[in-house]
């Protein structure tokens, strides 16, 4: 009898032991799952309370789609320095392609960070294309200006660098992980043996896919800084078959636009919305903002509407900065009636009042006569396809894209910062734009932020700035034509004194 009781007690102890062991195992699995879930299911961007910081460094969601792991971003210039044009020894990351670094920030203006899928990932945001610098001379400090065209940023150089580096034999675990470790990444075991090896592979795969979708740019001449092929890039969303594309639509390069005073661009004199984009292919600021976000990787499934909305609200009333140098008031006064006669009906009463009978209307290409390639690159087929985006949410669905037959008349707020001029940036200064087309410069250098206070534009005769070569823009290359906007109706027949007066007046915009 006692022996049986001893067996029963032993079985009970074993049962308690196994139950306790199972409970502890279950507790361990739960804790591990919560820890892994916390790490790999977190989707949290670095945020900024001030709107300027949000514009410069805040996420709009693109990291979820095209995000590059933070430490791979930091290591890439050291891993593939030969792919960065004109990189200098003291460069911080991507300065050689015109990106701007502030203070001690480890990321340039226009790059945001988000914790996603267990890793810090970075990608571009709105300000990378809409922020740049200006200065009076090489010895003066640069002034950072939000909302102006990013005239120094070489987007094609950026794309070529990442596509080339990630496709190179150097981009592998054996090279990348020791490099980022040496840069202070402080990787733990999970990072070293799981997270970053997978991240390296995924980065290669995603960028290879993106490179194939953007293969059109391999058939294009160099864009140079301050330019983008907006709508050929947009075709990548629809897996465009470039082998079947019409050669006439393969080049659509244009300058980055300014983005100030967006509320004033919602209505023109006749009560209808202004026609937006260079070719007026949409007349809703809200749709234009969503479309522009695609350039930062923020496509319909992953876009952060709240974050983009903060920027859109701020831009509605953001003014262009005032011209910071002396203005000859007497000369400007002589230019005012000339502007009213030759410019106001198409470009607004002044830099704050956008009233004008033709402001926000598309002018037929036959009437304006400027380079047609950007216009031709946007097709009816693309317009139809864009209407299929956001179909699951009518609040965001594109309904206003259409094909046009010319370029839109734009207000001239902050015109002094929008050089070079015409939609493709083919005319270096406002003075040059007032010359007959045959007298405009056929070649000039782009990428400088030193300002030409006489002609109103950036200095374009310097082949090198601080030892770094500028980009030689050639108007004979396809898509770079500087013709059009020429003739008596456009003021190119005025006397030199009248032209100088008009340029002086435009400094007030």
In the chain, where the domains are located = 1-41, 43-128+155-222, 254-506
- Which comes out higher in pLDDT, residue 212 or 58? 58
**pLDDT for position 20:** 73
Are the beta carbons of 136 and 145 closer than 8 angstroms? no
How far apart are alpha carbons 107 and 205 in whole angstroms?
A: 24
How far apart are alpha carbons 411 and 424 in whole angstroms?
A: 17
How far apart are alpha carbons 96 and 297 in whole angstroms?
A: 23
C-alpha dist (Å) from residue 137 to 19, 73, 455, 466: 78, 32, 15, 11
**pLDDT for position 11:** 72
Mean of the pLDDT values across residues 181-192? 91
Assess whether pLDDT exceeds 80 at residue 333. yes
Assess whether pLDDT exceeds 80 at residue 28. no
469-496 pLDDT per residue, tens: 999 999 999 999 999 999 999 999 999 9
Dihedral sign (CA 21, 23, 25, 27)? negative
Lowest-confidence pick of 38-42, 108-112, 402-406 = 38-42
Give, for 471, the enclosing helix (H) or strand (E): strand 471-474
Phi (first) and psi of residue 150, to 5 degrees = -80, 75
Q: What is the pTM of this model?
A: 0.91
Assess whether pLDDT exceeds 90 at residue 88. no
pLDDT band at 29 (very low <50, low <70, confident <90, very high): low
What is the number of other CB atoms lying within 10 angstroms of the CB of residue 482? 27
Mean pLDDT, the chain, integer: 93
**pLDDT for position 186:** 87
Assess whether pLDDT exceeds 60 at residue 448. yes
How far apart are alpha carbons 62 and 49 in whole angstroms?
A: 20
Among 322, 323, 339, CA closest to 501:
339
**pLDDT for position 238:** 87
Mean of the pLDDT values across residues 32-37? 58
Question: What is the pairing mode between strands 451-452 and 143-146?
Answer: unpaired
Assess whether pLDDT exceeds 80 at residue 455. yes
**pLDDT for position 318:** 98
**pLDDT for position 423:** 98
pLDDT band at 327 (very low <50, low <70, confident <90, very high): very high
Assess whether pLDDT exceeds 60 at residue 278. yes
Question: Which SS3 state, helix, strand or coil, does residue 171 take?
Answer: coil
């Amino acid at each position: 009898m006692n022996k049986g009781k001893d067996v029963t007690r032993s079985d009970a102890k074993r049962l308690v032991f196994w139950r306790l062991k199972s409970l502890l195992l279950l507790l361990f699995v739960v804790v591990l799952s919560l820890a892994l879930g916390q790490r790999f299911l977190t989707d949290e961007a670095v945020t900024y309370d001030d709107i300027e910081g949000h514009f410069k460094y805040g996420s709009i969601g693109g990291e979820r789609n095209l995000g590059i792991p933070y430490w791979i971003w930091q290591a890439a210039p050291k891993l593939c320095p030969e792919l960065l044009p004109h990189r200098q020894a003291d460069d911080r990351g991507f300065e050689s392609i015109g990106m701007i670094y502030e203070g001690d920030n480890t990321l340039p203006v226009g790059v945001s960070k988000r914790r996603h899928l267990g890793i810090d990932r970075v990608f571009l945001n709105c300000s990378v294309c809409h922020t740049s610098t200006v200065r009076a001379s090489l010895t003066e400090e640069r002034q950072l200006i939000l909302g102006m065209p990013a005239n120094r940023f070489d987007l094609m150089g950026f794309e070529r660098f990442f596509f080339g580096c990630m496709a190179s034999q150097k981009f592998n675990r054996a090279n990348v992980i020791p490099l980022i470790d040496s840069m202070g990444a402080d990787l733990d075991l999970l990072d070293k043996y799981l997270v970053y090896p997978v991240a390296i592979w995924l980065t290669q795969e995603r960028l290879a896919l993106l490179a194939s979708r953007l293969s059109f740019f391999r058939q294009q001449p160099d864009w140079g800084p301050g330019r983008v092929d907006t709508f050929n890039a947009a075709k990548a969303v629809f897996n465009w078959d470039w082998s079947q594309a019409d050669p006439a639509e393969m080049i659509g390069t244009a300058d980055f636009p300014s983005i100030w005073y967006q509320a004033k661009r919602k209505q023109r004199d006749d009560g209808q919305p202004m026609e937006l984009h260079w070719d007026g292919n949409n007349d809703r600021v809200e749709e234009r903002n969503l479309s522009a976000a695609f350039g930062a990787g923020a496509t319909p499934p992953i876009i952060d509407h709240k974050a983009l909305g903060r920027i859109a609200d701020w831009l509605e009333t953001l003014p262009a900065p005032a011209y910071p140098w002396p203005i000859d008031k007497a000369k400007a006064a002589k230019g005012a009636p000339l502007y009213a006669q030759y410019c106001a009906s198409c470009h607004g009463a002044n830099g704050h009042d956008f009233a004008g009978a033709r402001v926000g209307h598309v002018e037929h290409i036959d009437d304006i006569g400027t380079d047609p390639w950007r216009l031709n690159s946007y097709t009816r087929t693309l317009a139809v396809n864009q209407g299929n985006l956001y179909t699951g949410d009518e609040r965001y669905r594109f309904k206003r894209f259409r094909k046009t037959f010319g370029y839109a008349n734009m207000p001239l707020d902050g015109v002094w910062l929008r050089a070079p001029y015409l939609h493709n940036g083919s005319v270096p200064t406002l003075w040059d734009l007032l010359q007959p087309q045959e007298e405009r410069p056929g070649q000039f250098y782009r990428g400088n932020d030193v300002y030409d206070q006489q002609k109103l534009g950036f200095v374009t005769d310097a082949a090198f700035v601080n030892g770094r070569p500028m980009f030689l823009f050639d108007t004979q290359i396809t898509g770079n034509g500087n013709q059009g906007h020429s003739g008596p109706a456009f003021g190119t027949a005025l006397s030199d004194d009248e032209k100088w007066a008009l340029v002086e007046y435009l400094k007030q915009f």
